[in-house]
Amino acid sequence: MEENGKPVVLRLVKPPEGIAETMATLACPTPREIDEHLEALGVRGQAEARAAVSTLAFRHTRRLHQEFVHSVPRSSLPGRSALLLTGPAGCGKTLLVELLCREVLEIPAVVVDVPSLAACATVDHVIGKVLSQLLDAAGGNKARASMGVVCLDGLEKVACPVSEEAAAKASPDWVLRNWRVQRALHTLLTADSVRFHHESGHDRGSESVWFPFLRNTFIACGDIEGKKAAFLPELLGAFQRKVELAPLGRTEFEAILGDLVQRLRREIEPGFTVAPSREELDGIVRAALEGGEGARTLRAEVEYLVESVVHPQEEGGNR
C-alpha cells in the first residue's frame, strides 16, 4: 500500500479504549450452543460447516475474553482466524454466515458483497470500503469495530481467467479490477493495521483512520471449486480452515420447506389458509433438486405458493 507515493508501514496500533468494558458483558457460548442456535434458526444439514463456523465464533469471542477480561497477553494467544466456505449455489453458505452475523454474534459483524468491490479504483479503496462497512456496523465506534467479524460473500465473482482463451475474451480492465480486489482481501487477512478513508454511511464525510484489525475474524464464501488457479495462492493460503459444502439433498430440502411453510402460516394466517398438498410439497422439493440452484429454487417456489394462496389466478391463467 502507498500514501503520497511512499509505502505505508503496517504497524501495530494500541487497541482503542472501551474493549475491556464491552467484553466483560459479552456472552461466550460454546460451539455446541452456537451450532444448536443456528439449527434452531433454520440451518439444515452441512454439519461440518456448522461445526467450523460455530468453533470459529467461539474461538473469536474466547480470545477477546482472555485478552481483555482475563488480561492474557495478546502475544501468548493464537492469531486471528480465517475460514473459507466453498460449495455450489444454494447449499447454504450465505445463509449460514448471515444468521451468524445477524442472530448469534453480539459483536459488530458485516456481510460484504465481494463483487461490488470490483468497482473500486484502487487497492486502498477496496480496503476502505470493507472497513467502512464494519465501522458503520459498529456505529462508528472503532473499539467495537476492531473486534468484529467480516464475512466476504461471492468470492467466486472476482476469479480471474487463467486459460489463454478465457483471458483473450475478458476485458483487461475487468481482470485488473478482480486482481485488485484479491490483493486487497489478502491485505485484510494478513496485515495488522492499515490507514483507510472512512466513507461513512451516516453522512459524516470521509476521514482518514488508522484501524487495527489483527483481532478481526474473517469468513469468506464462494463457489470456487475448479477455479482455485484463478485466485492468488497467497490469498487462498491465508485461510487456515477450508470447508467444502455439498449440495443439499431431499432430507434437507424437506426440512427447509417445512420451516418455510410454518413461517408463511405465521405471516398470513388467519385470513388465508396455507395447506399445500403432499403432491405440491413433493413438486417443490423435486424442483429444488433438479433446478441447480438448491435452496434458492426452493424459496422461489414457496414465493409462488404465497401468490397462489393470497392472490389466486383464474383457471388457465399464466404462472
Q: pLDDT tens-digit profile of 40-73?
A: 988 998 999 999 999 999 999 999 888 888 888 8
Percent of the chain with pLDDT over 90: 42
pLDDT in tens, 260-319: 888 888 888 888 888 888 998 999 999 888 887 888 888 888 888 888 888 886 555 555
Q: How confident is the model at residue 35 (pLDDT cuts 50, 70, 90)?
A: very high
What are the tens digits of pLDDT across the range 141-157? 888 888 899 999 999 99
Query: What pLDDT is recorded for position 70?
Result: 85
Domains and CATH numbers, the chain: 2-244 (3.40.50.300), 250-310 (no CATH)
Least confident residue range of 62-66, 113-117, 151-155, 162-166: 162-166
User: So what's the pLDDT on residue 317?
Assistant: 52
Please determine, for residue 126, whether its predicted confidence score (pLDDT) is greater than 50.
Answer: yes
Task: Please give the full DSSP string across the chain, using - where no structure is assigned.
Answer: -EETTEEPP----PPPTTHHHHHHT-----HHHHHHHHHHTT--S-HHHHHHHHHHHHHHHHHHHHHHTS---GGGS----EEEEE--TTSSHHHHHHHIIIII-SS-EEEEEGGGGGG-SSHHHHHHHHHHHHHHHTTT-HHHHTT-EEEEE-GGGG----SHHHHHHS-HHHHHHHHHHHHHHHHHHH-SEEEEEEE-TTS--EEEEEEE-TT-EEEEEE--TT-GGGS-HHHHHT-SEEEEPPPP-HHHHHHHHHHHHHHHHHHHTTTS-----HHHHHHHHHHHHHHSSTHHHHHHHHHHHHHHHHSPPPTT---
